[in-house]
Amino acid sequence: MKLIGNYTSPFARKISVIMLEKGITFEFVNESPWHEESPVPQYNPLGKVPALVVNDDQTWFDSAIIAEYLDSLDIAPALIPRDTLQSLRVRQIEVLADGVCDAALVIVRHQMLPPAQQSTNELLRQREKIRRGLDALEHEAAKSEWLNGTHITLADIATACAIGYLNFRHVAPNWCVGRPTLVKLVEKMFQRESFARTVPPTA
């Protein structure tokens, strides 16, 4: 398998972590989706990473879809419950974590604009999304049911990747204040080999 992604993308990292946890051999192809000559649209018409090339006839894109595909291969560990309702609960937490990433990405891209084109209101709006999303994740982690439970799930991986991205981009430096359970969860996740091997480069 070939994973088209970017070393700094939290969504590509999520898929890399899943494949490493499952012991799936893959080639990581580092591509930026932002420049005009990017080959990413060849794999995803929307021009976004990640995309997973299984073979010449099969390519999956969008991290949530790729995660579900990988778990359907029945390679341990199972990260999404087979029960439909339980699966939805895990996937909803994934959506929360991915939404935090989306808001952080908007902030990062917005801050690259010339100062005259930046909107304080837009930045505040995205930061509020991150705050609410993290509060909801703290609540879920404290329940230790679908997130921060006995066994690792897709919710754990998505949450740790989201917070890893916040740390990497310094978007929400005080995110840990008032969220002790989330702090312990991500500290535990960051100790796993799959996370240690997917730390984004600092330069």
Residue ranges and CATH numbers for the domains of the chain are 2-73 (3.40.30.10), 84-192 (1.20.1050.10)
The predicted structure's pLDDT at residue 35: 87
Residue 189: phi and psi, rounded to 5, are -70, -40
Q: What are the per-10-residue average pLDDT scores of the chain (203 residues)?
A: 97 98 98 91 96 95 98 97 97 98 97 94 97 98 97 98 97 96 98 98 77
Q: Is 51 in a helix, a strand, or coil?
A: strand
* pTM, entire model: 0.97
The answer to whether 80 and 67 have CB atoms below 8 angstroms apart is yes
The predicted structure's pLDDT at residue 203: 58
- 10 Å CB burial of residue 151 (0-12, 13-18, 19+) is exposed
The string of DSSP letters for 88-139 reads HHHHHHHHHHHHHHHHHHHHHHHTTS-GGG--HHHHHHHHHHHHHHHHHHHH
H or E segment at 67?
A: helix 63-72
Q: Which residue is listed with tokens 């679908």?
A: 146
Instruction: Give which of 177, 135, 178 is closest to 159, Cα–Cα.
Output: 135
Q: Cis omega before residue 50 (within 30°)?
A: yes
Sign of torsion over alpha carbons 20, 23, 29, 32: negative
The predicted structure's pLDDT at residue 36: 86
Q: Please give the Cα distance from 126 to 176 (Å, whole number).
A: 18
Amino acid residing at 108: V
Structure tokens at 161: 């990747």
Helices 63-72 and 10-22 cross at an angle (nearest 10°) of 10
Q: Please give the Cα distance from 189 to 128 (Å, whole number).
A: 25
The answer to whether 57 and 51 have CB atoms below 8 angstroms apart is no
Q: What is the DSSP letter of 20?
A: H
